[in-house]
Chains A and B, each alone.
Chain A
Amino acid sequence: LAKTTQPISMDSYEGQEVNITCSHNNIATNDYITWYQQFPSQGPRFIIQGYKTKVTNEVASLFIPADRKSSTLSLPRVSLSDTAVYYCLVGDHAGNNRKLIWGLGTSLAVNP
């Protein structure tokens, strides 16, 4: 299972764009990259998932370079309610090995 490395914490201000980069040097061919958001005392919430290039949805964008050894979650114009822990995970969701290894995540603090 691929391990991921991401910054422990980040600070930002309301209205700014936030980019959180995750390293996953040992990503396997079948692995997808998934990002989750977690607020205190709540279950993680799915944000976005991708395999390569760029994926965009209504809340975020995910940039994946050609070698797939890293990925960047981009949150446009953050607000105070985006203060949370963000987890980057890699894994083969459709295959037999569906387990995901959770790191410590990135604690994002959005300031007024």
Chain B
Amino acid sequence: GAVVSQHPSWVICKSGTSVKIECRSLDFQATTMFWYRQFPKQSLMLMATSNEGSKATYEQGVEKDKFLINHASLTLSTLTVTSAHPEDSSFYICSALAQTQYFGPGTRLLVL
């Protein structure tokens, strides 16, 4: 139980394009999902908290207009990186909250 999937697992895009990452809770419903970013050899950094049916809560320093989050259902949250630049290249991980946070496998984004 408590399986979370992410799609795509990796993506390469050109600078200036937008990329959408999906996070799904496969066998449970999650009112709350979280989006993290992780750079090499570093820990996870919380970007935003996604709540079903309401606006996401962004952490300080994270641009809400650049990282668009939509939590349209109890099993799906999406993160769209708009006008991506090379500095947005990173490992993006989502988690869904049940009795604890269960994490997806991550999405590797490379912006050329």
Contact = CB atoms under 8 A, between A and B. Distances in A.
Given A42-B105, A42-B106, A43-B106, A102 B43 contact: yes
B91 interface: yes
B46 interface: yes
Nearest to A36: B103
B100 A34 contact: yes
Interface of chain B: mostly helix, strand, loop or mixed: strand
B11 interface: no
Nearest to A103: B43
Determine chain A's interface SS by DSSP, over half rule.
loop
Contacts of A70: none
A45 B34 CA distance: 15
A61 interface: no
B93 interface: yes
Interface of B: 2, 4, 6, 32, 34, 36, 42-46, 49, 91, 93-95, 97, 99-106, 108
| 9 tightest A-B CB contacts, nearest first | A43-B103, A102-B44, A102-B43, A43-B106, A43-B93, A44-B103, A43-B105, A43-B104, A93-B100
27 contacts: A32-B100, A34-B100, A34-B101, A41-B91, A41-B106, A43-B4, A43-B94, A43-B95, A43-B103, A43-B105, A43-B106, A44-B93, A46-B101, A46-B102, A49-B100, A87-B43, A93-B97, A93-B99, A98-B32, A98-B97, A99-B34, A99-B46, A100-B101, A102-B36, A102-B44, A102-B46, A105-B43
